[in-house]
Structure 1
């Protein structure tokens, strides 16, 4: 008699994953790849980078499955790993950006410039780009709360758990993020 993994709780799946069962990893991936990808995509703004970071997040999670606490939601745990991957990516990007700008002018032609995507729906794309640009202008702690609460629709409690802050801090940061975002959008 075969065990139906889709009926197992996250705690049960994590326990089975510790035995190295590939089918269990596939089940966890199927459950959480979409929310993890969305979280990362909203954080980094690039689908290709988000796909790579999602894969890195799951690889890291599965390698550290022994440290998963079954009393907490798996989504919060994997999201925390994904958020850390986003922070690492942002640090690497900042360093690359610094060195790119620091290149002497005679080497400037060696720097690849990313071309914008074709503009199919001009109005919608322009507005989306405007909002993304404004969100990118938010401090990371405000942007994280805005993405988790507003885009990923996590509860205040789950967001607080994920960010390791109080629920009141989440509430305050969300208020400030929305206010600052509104101000940034009004400026443009």
Structure 2
């Protein structure tokens, strides 16, 4: 069986045995999802890339502690969420000491078929949405990202976050309501 044919658990077992190529295959399979999760938390593509790299470095260092009875994707999501928390703490400390302005969004989306005006409006909309998601409280943001962006089930999200399925449902409802309020202008000072 080739590495490409192996499932995540088999690759993780081979990586635990020291096979670098197996770990590289795991990273290739999961890096986009890790980056999306990080970008959703921080609202900045470059910062998300740094967090993604940190998450995979941490995963590689801890691969011996991976429990093969659990999905590798959930394990990587947990590491990524922890790295996002670390990033948020560092950012808060930097802001406190330097009175830094919020990080500018670096996400620019262009539709080559759209007019320049439409493209600008679209990019501004994406930037505003990313900023609104990044401004959500952490417990609401992580549920929103895992359920909507990463399309994890309610049960998997509950297990990953260590909360009940009802709490996932409630937090998702609150996150959507808060996001709608922020995007309608009810919380413009934060977006």
TM bucket normalised to smaller: 0.7 to 0.9
Matched residues, number: 177
Q: Does 1:56 align with 2:46?
A: no
Q: Which residue is 1:67 aligned to?
A: 65
Q: Once superposed, what is the RMSD of the aligned Cα atoms?
A: 2.1
Q: Which residue is 1:107 aligned to?
A: none
* 1:1-188 to 2 correspondences below 5 Å: 3-101=1-99, 121-187=119-185
Q: Distance in 1 between matches of 2:134 and 2:40?
A: 10
**Structure 2 unmatched ranges of 5 or more:** 111-118
What does the per-residue CA deviation read over 1:67-126, in whole Å, with 9 as the maximum and x for residues that have no partner? 11111100000110011000000000000001112xxxxxxxxx7997776896210122
Contact 2:54 2:83 in 1 (8 A): yes
Inter-CA distance 67–112: structure 2 relative to 1 (3 Å threshold): same
Contact 2:147 2:153 in 1 (8 A): yes
Structure whose alpha-carbon radius of gyration is higher: 1
Inter-CA distance 139–6: structure 2 relative to 1 (3 Å threshold): same
Contact 2:40 2:133 in 1 (8 A): no
The alpha carbon displacement at 1:133 in A equals 2.7
SS at match of 1:93: helix
Q: Distance in 2 between matches of 1:119 and 1:145?
A: 25
**Structure 1 unmatched ranges of 5 or more:** 102-110
Q: Distance in 2 between matches of 1:34 and 1:170?
A: 24
Inter-CA distance 157–62: structure 2 relative to 1 (3 Å threshold): same
Q: TM-score, normalised by structure 1?
A: 0.86
Extract structure 1 runs of 4+ deviating beyond 3 A: 111-120
SS at match of 1:69: coil
